Amino acid sequence: MELYYTFSVLIVLASFFAYLNLRFLKLPGTIGIMIIAMLVSVGIRLLGDSYFPTTTKHFFDLIKEFDFNEILMGAMLNFLLFAGALHVNMADLKEQKVPIMIYSTVSVVLSALIISMLLFYIAPLLGIKIPYIFCLVFGTLISPTDPIVVLGVLKEAKVPKRIETKIVGESLFNDGVAVVMFAVVLKMATDPTFDATFSSISLLFIEEGIGGLLLGAVFGFTASRVMKKIDDYKVSVLITLSIVTGGFLVAQALHVSSPLAMVVAGLIIGNYGKKVAMSEVTKDYLGKFWELIDEILNAVLFLFIGFELLLLPNLDKQLLTGIVAIFIVLFSRLTSIVLPWKFFDIFKFFGIKSAYNKGSLMVLVWGGIRGGVSIALVLSMPESEYKNLLLEVTYIVVLFSIVVQGLTVGKLAKRVLEKE
């Protein structure tokens, strides 16, 4: 009953804030909801105890009880990734499969290493001493672009389709890599008995990554074949819901990556399934159903990111560190994208073309938006003397990424791409 009560309050607030944004702010939907939630959070922090002490206490307790990591990583992420992948054109992904694969694997690892090294050497200059292993933890959790936020922001930013597909493709697949990286590095940081050998880490990556891809393919093709035999939009919607909910449980039991499984299942059903198993009516109902699920859950997600401000009492103390971290993250994003791009330029002699021109690269770097996944990962850390520091710095980086990058990526794309 408590979970129902919490979700009821969040849905009511999300709908009210969405109305206020549409009526007055007129910002992109999800970002507007988050900004209003942040303003309300600031108001509660400044005036709540003086004017509404009982209501403020109840609201604080409500937010504290909401297990953001469990809800996002265990439930919402699977729905949102499946819904996003369902509307991605596989032909567009195939056209850029090599660069997308490189950027969602090599670039993530490279970015994590660059962030960890820069933070380790710059933090003491700010009066903060933090072991390198925890700098690496921060690097792994902040490196991946958030597929949920990227899909939501780019949809409203009116980025050209060819660029949108490339950024979305990277963000969909780098999530699974980053979660495994984070789990390994966190275990190294908190478990002295963990034997972090190359073989053990490689085996974990293979089990989680390849296992998730294969499981998603099984779900996608099986669901498509089943839907082909019935072609009923009501049953088809139920089948896709069962893939997301039951698929998560199966992935957990098999210890494989459920995010990757949902992405692959969504891509297969959204492309192969729609082609061979669905009538126009079924396609229409299925697409609109998952589009609504996507919008509702995104609204709740951004609402909670805004209200997370209530749980960070000392955010101002880490403001300078957070600002420095923003520049570190942007620099690492630029470096981890440009280096592989230059690598592709070298191989032009062999007929492999660079996937991005300079304008596209600028959009790709600026469109690498961080979001709820990073916050969920840092919240999942066990209590330690560095957890609050990393949580506050992560929140500052995520806020900048969503608000500043999210609101300007469309304008940047329009300006730099119309010259090419």
Tokens read off for 287: 């697409």
Average pLDDT for residues 314-334, to the nearest whole number?
92
Q: Is the dihedral of CA 98, 104, 109, 112 positive or negative?
A: positive
**Band of the pLDDT at 49, cuts 50, 70, 90?**
confident
pLDDT at 196 over 80: no
Written as one letter, the residue type at 325 is: A
pLDDT at 199 over 90: no
Q: What is the pLDDT of residues 228-273, one digit of tens each?
A: 999 899 999 999 999 999 999 999 999 998 989 999 999 999 999 9
Among the residue ranges 208-222, 329-343, 383-397, the one predicted with the least confidence is 329-343
Write the CB contacts of 359 (distance below 8 Å, at least 6 apart in sequence): 416, 417, 419, 420
**Band of the pLDDT at 345, cuts 50, 70, 90?**
low
Average pLDDT for residues 179-203, to the nearest whole number?
83
Among the residue ranges 236-250, 271-285, 345-359, 390-404, the one predicted with the least confidence is 345-359
CA distance 81 to 59: 30
SS3 call for 313: coil
CA distance 21 to 299: 12
**Protein fold of 73-303+312-417:** Na+/H+ antiporter like fold (1.20.1530)
Q: How many CA atoms lie within 13 A of 305 on its CB side?
A: 32
Q: Which long-range CB contacts under 8 A does 333-336 form with residues at least 24 apart?
A: 333/111, 333/365, 333/368, 334/365, 335/110, 335/111, 335/114, 336/106, 336/107, 336/108, 336/110, 336/111, 336/114, 336/143
How open is the CA angle 57-309-33, to the nearest 5 degrees?
A: 100
**Band of the pLDDT at 350, cuts 50, 70, 90?**
very low
Among the residue ranges 9-23, 37-51, 92-106, 228-242, the one predicted with the least confidence is 92-106
**Band of the pLDDT at 167, cuts 50, 70, 90?**
confident
Q: What is the pLDDT of residues 69-114, one digit of tens each?
A: 778 877 788 998 899 899 888 888 888 787 788 888 889 999 999 9
CA distance 231 to 407: 41
CA distance 270 to 346: 35
Q: What is the pLDDT, as a whole number, of residue 356? A: 56
Among 3-12, 346-355, 371-380, 393-402, name the most confident range.
393-402
Mean pLDDT of the chain: 87
Average pLDDT for residues 9-28, to the nearest whole number?
93
How open is the CA angle 36-163-265, to the nearest 5 degrees?
A: 80
Q: What is the pLDDT, as a whole number, of residue 420? A: 55
CA distance 265 to 307: 32
Q: Where are the alpha helices (DSSP H) in 255-371?
A: 258-268, 274-276, 280-307, 319-346, 358-366
Q: What percent of the chain has pLDDT over 70?
A: 93
Closest alpha carbon to 38 in 295, 309, 412? 309
Burial of 131 (0-12, 13-18, 19+ CB in 10 A): exposed
**Dmax over Cα atoms in the chain, in whole Å?**
70
pLDDT at 279 over 60: yes
Closest alpha carbon to 390 in 139, 127, 187, 183? 139
pLDDT at 349 over 80: no
Ranges in the chain annotated CATH 1.20.1530.20: 73-303+312-417
